[in-house]
Amino acid sequence: MVCSIRSGTSSILLPVPPVYLILPHNRNCFLGRYHFPDMAEPFADFVIPPLLHTAGLIVGTGFVIALLLAAKPPVSQTTVLSFAPWIVVGAVLHVFYQLGVTLKQPLYPDPIEPLFSAPAVYFTVFILMALIWAVSTMFMTSPDATRIGQYLSGLGLGTMAPLIALLLWRGTDPGVRPMEPVFPVAGLLLALGGTFLISLAIGFWRTNMFRKVRYVGPLVLFAHLFDGITTAIGVDLLDAAERSAIPQMIIEVGADLPTASAIGSGWLFVLVKLLVAVAIVLLFADYVNEEPVEANLLMGLIVAVGLGPGTYNFFLFVLSP
């Protein structure tokens, strides 16, 4: 999701694909609960790193993929679950990058700073995660998907937790304060509760199918429900305008419905995201069972497309930079 916080005639672009929002600069936005300090320098939409960094990312990605092909790590649904903390790590690292731009105080050393722009940060984190994944497979005497998944997720959680703590501590900076966690936390809780209820409903409706994706299915649902809800928060509670063609069309349809004055326009986008996620879960059930490696890796990518933007928006709204 790419959000733009406007200040006068300038704007701040906060890139996370694939949805684009424009957040107006308004100290009294939503009854005065959100406060945005003045910002004059615009962010770029997507930052293409310098040639040397781009080449390094390409070579690094190719190298770790070759390692994984050689190591042939077992892949299961629990492996995909172990990807989740690393996806959050990527989103948080990018928030640090954006905070540095916003505060005009870069938080990364100049030589490596481009590696944490978008979308480079996701390749940076993938290279690190894949390297750990491949090496752990090579050095385990009896590697299996469960043990490797536990190791990978443990390292991911161990990296994610201090980064989030550091980010929230950074949020006490005078250029960022006050943090506003109410709406983001409400959105997170709504996404968690919605995922539980929808998973329960699908389990009763298509028990045998859902059993085949009992681990990765709920994660896909949560990732895209979380992304949809954070988008709706931006659109309806922060007076945002949609810039991406298809989501904009969906939100405009929602705005034209009689329900718009009561529940806003973002709900339709949430519904579409949810329906697509449910369809993917049901359609991939047999695929995951028949081709576990290929299908689970694809499901991991689908999770990343939702969880990365959702996490980024969550911390963006918490910090209210």
Q: Which two tokens stand for residue 97?
A: 């990058």
- Going by pLDDT thresholds of 50, 70 and 90, the confidence category of residue 201 is very high
- Going by pLDDT thresholds of 50, 70 and 90, the confidence category of residue 36 is very low
Query: Does residue 160 register a pLDDT over 90?
Result: yes
- Going by pLDDT thresholds of 50, 70 and 90, the confidence category of residue 298 is very high
Model confidence pLDDT, tens digit, residues 99-114 = 888 778 888 999 999 9
What percent of the chain has a predicted confidence (pLDDT) above 90? 53
Query: Does residue 4 register a pLDDT over 70?
Result: no
Q: Which residue reads 């928060």 in tokens?
A: 233
Model confidence pLDDT, tens digit, residues 46-95 = 678 899 999 999 999 999 999 999 999 989 999 999 999 999 999 999 99
Query: Does residue 299 register a pLDDT over 90?
Result: yes
Q: Are strands 10-14 and 2-7 parallel, antiparallel or unpaired?
A: antiparallel
pLDDT of residue 88: 97
CA separation for the pair 276, 249 (Å, rounded): 16
Mean pLDDT across 148-167: 94
Model confidence pLDDT, tens digit, residues 208-241 = 999 999 999 999 999 999 999 998 998 888 765 5
* Domain limits for position 218: 2-319
Query: Does residue 133 register a pLDDT over 70?
Result: yes
Mean pLDDT across 175-197: 89
Number of separate domains in the chain? 1
Instruction: Say which amino acid occupies 10.
Output: S
Three-state SS letters, the chain: CEEEEEECCEEEEECCCCCEEEECCCCCHHHHCECCCCCCCCCCCCCCCCHHHHHHHHHHHHHHHHHHHHHCCCCCHHHHHHHHHHHHHHHHHHHHHHHHHHHCCCCCCCCCHHHHCCCHHHHHHHHHHHHHHHHHHHHCCCCCHHHHHHHHHHHHHHHHHHHHHHHHHHCCCCCCCCCCCHHHHHHHHHHHHHHHHHHHHHHHHCHHHHHHCCCHHHHHHHHHHHHHHHHHHHHHHCCCEECCHHHHHHHHHHHHCCCHHHHCCHHHHHHHHHHHHHHHHHHCHHHHHHCHHHHHHHHHHHHHHHHHHHHHHHHHHHHCC
Lowest mean pLDDT among 38-42, 79-83, 173-177, 302-306: 38-42
